[in-house]
Amino acid sequence: MNNKPDRPLALKEIAPILDKMRRYHDDLDEALVKKAYRYAKKAHQGQKRLSGDPAFTHEVVVADILADWRLDTASVVAGLLHDVVEDTNKTVTNVEKHFGEEIAELVGGLTRVGQIRLRGSESDGFVENLRKMFLAMSKDLRVVIVKLADRYHNMLTLEYLPEDKQVGIAQETLEVFASLAERLGMGEVKGQLEDLAFPYCYPEEYEELIEYAQPYYKKAEDRIEKVKREILRALAAEGLRVRIDGRAKHLYSLWRKLARPEKDGDIEKIHDLMALRIITKKKEDCYLALGVVHKIWQLVPRLGVRDFIAQSKPNGYQSIHTNVFLADGQIIEIQIRTEEMHEQAEHGVAAHWYYSQAKSRQGASSAELEEGKIFAPQEKMTWVQQLAAWQDEIVDSQDFIESVKFDALKHRIFVFSPKGDAYDLPEGATPIDFAYQIHTELGNQVVGAKVDGQMVSLDHELSNGEVVELLIDRKRKGPSANWLDFVVTRLARRKIKKNLRR
Ligand code: MN
């Protein structure tokens, strides 16, 4: 029942990563990856992680995770370099000199998002805002993905951190990172992040659930073995070649499901403790397999079939789910999908790089496209519309990468108070807009502003990620009329006018 991934917690070598990358990358620039490895290793020399491992092993594992997700070379290189600006004396300019603009931008983005303080949630709106801010500051979706790999490894080694820090990090992982993974369709990553955070956030509930669920998982596992053999036999008789993937349901997601009113905490009402997945080569085979399954076992009327192939979920998830009665009366959920749908369900947006590369390599025909060899354009995501860009048809990988360079919310910026509180402002906002956003009195008393420690004029245009410190004079009576020439928020304009009238 434990989904703990079998991944090295510390990795010192680049060779296994290059091996992985070669498998999905025809014209891999090995020299570039090796150069990044040497560069980062040298920069991090002498540093240690709290686990006692040399600091640099972390960066190598992050790169390894990215290679597992089959990310492009720039992302893997950025994985190796992701902490050099933050933790060593290297600057983004240094990185650009050695690795070019694209990689420097990724590393810059990683450094920016690394500085966001994602505090505990106060309201749903706040958490949602953080997620948006995170995306807006990332600019390029690959930054988010590298950050997810980074967080994933940090969660795997969380036990080495001081106890007082563990809960906060785990909470942030649940609220922000797992949900970002979900929005990006990276279902497996989401499940793993949640399971890693679960025991830190809800230790008692976690213990209780393990004790309660263990025997049921065991039974489900035994059952799945039998079912698997039966399905393979029946499908082979129809001439269908498939692969079957059986995996235990993630614990956190089980816990959440048990909390639903209709489940009433009863594990007997959960039918997907072990997810049984029939993975086919072609889309048509999914429907053939569904027919075969229904010939062997009776469909559970109430639960029925849900066809997320005909109508995919908003995050791009595709699969057919069916619930059937086994011979012993037990209900089991079976999911049917193609290899590509499976890959996407596990790796979401990250899978696109692989398939966009695969396509440019083999020149997939449009017929293959329709067969689901490459993800078909799907319904647009409602959440932050621009995210839909990654689901659009991919012409080649370069185009795809361009399309996911994230310009969602490009008309919004996020700036910080010196305490690290985040504020969301329109593009072109000035320290005056910022001041009125916080408090009217503050706006009325501003006499100067510092941005990232440097004095700026009051009409200075703020940019993403800047820390804004306001200098105030409590004796100041009110705003200046000329502020109206440059403020951009309606709020500031209104308050200034109101105070001028007085
Ligand atoms: Mn890191």
Tell which wins on pLDDT, 13 or 124: 13
**52 CA distance to ligand 1 centroid (A)?**
15
Check pLDDT > 50 for residue 299: yes
Instruction: Select which of 13, 19, 29, 86 is catalytic.
Output: 86
Average pLDDT over every residue of 341-369: 57
- Phi and psi angles of residue 317, each rounded to the nearest 5 degrees, phi first: -60, 130
How many whole angstroms from 58 Cα to the centroid of ligand 1?
Answer: 7
Question: Do 293 and 282 meet the contact criterion of CB atoms below 8 Å apart?
Answer: no
86 is annotated as an active-site residue? yes
Interval between CA 37 and ligand 1 midpoint (Å): 15
In the reported structure, the alpha carbon of residue 243 is separated from the centroid of ligand 1 by a whole-number distance in angstroms of 36
- For residue 148, the model assigns a pLDDT of 92
Instruction: Give the model's pLDDT for residue 35.
Output: 96
Neighbours of ion ligand 1 (CB under 5 A): 83, 150
Average pLDDT on 17-21 reads 94
Distances (CA, A) of 17 to 69, 79, 84, 189, 402: 11, 12, 20, 19, 25
Cα→Cα distances 202→166, 193, 267, Å: 12, 14, 19
**What's the CA-to-centroid distance between 27 and ligand 1, angstroms?**
28
Q: Would you list the DSSP string of 353-390?
A: HHHHHHHHHHT--HHHHHTTSSPPP-PPPSSSGGGGGG
At 134 the pLDDT is 62
The arithmetic mean of pLDDT across residues 403-420, rounded, is 60
Q: What confidence tens digit (pLDDT) does each residue in 215-257 have?
A: 999 988 888 888 999 999 999 998 898 999 888 899 999 999 9
Residue 370 has pLDDT above 70, yes or no: no
pLDDT at 64: 95
The amino acid occupying position 235 is L
More confident residue, 374 or 214: 214
pTM beyond 0.75: no
Q: Which of 87, 346, 371, 427 is catalytic?
A: 87
What distances in angstroms separate CA 213 from CA 5, 192, 209, 324, 428, one per listed residue? Answer: 20, 18, 6, 22, 54
Q: Report the C-alpha gap between 155 and 147 in whole angstroms.
A: 12
pLDDT confidence tier of residue 315, bands split at 50, 70 and 90:
low
pLDDT single digits (tens) 129-142:
566 556 655 667 78
What is the Cα–Cα distance from 266 to 253, expressed in whole angstroms?
14
* Long-range contact set of residues 26-30: C-beta below 8 Å, sequence gap at least 24: 26/357, 26/361, 28/73, 29/73
> What percentage of the chain carries pLDDT values higher than 70?
80
Q: At what angle do helices 141-156 and 163-172 cross, to 10 degrees?
A: 140
Which residue's entry shows tokens 């940090």? 154
**Distance of alpha carbon 384 from alpha carbon 317, whole angstroms:** 17
Instruction: Tell me if residue 333 falls in helix, strand or coil.
Output: strand
CB 387 within 8 A of CB 381: yes
Torsion sign, CA atoms 254, 267, 317, 239: positive
Closest to 245 measured CA to CA, from 293, 280, 196: 280
What Å distances lie between residue 21 and 67, 72, 151, 345, CA to CA? 6, 9, 21, 21
Q: How far is the CA of 406 from the centre of ligand 1 (A)?
A: 22
- CA–CA separation, 275 and 342 (whole Å): 13
Confidence check: pLDDT of 284 > 80:
yes
Q: What is the pLDDT of residue 211?
A: 95
User: What is the 3-state secondary structure of 135-155?
Assistant: HHHHCEHHHHHHHHHHHHHHH
- Alpha carbon of 82 to ligand 1 centroid (Å): 6
Residues in the chain: 502
DSSP secondary structure of 170-204: HHHIIIIIHHHHHHTT-HHHHHHHHHHHHHHHSHH
Sign of CA dihedral 118, 123, 124, 128: negative
Residue type, 279: I
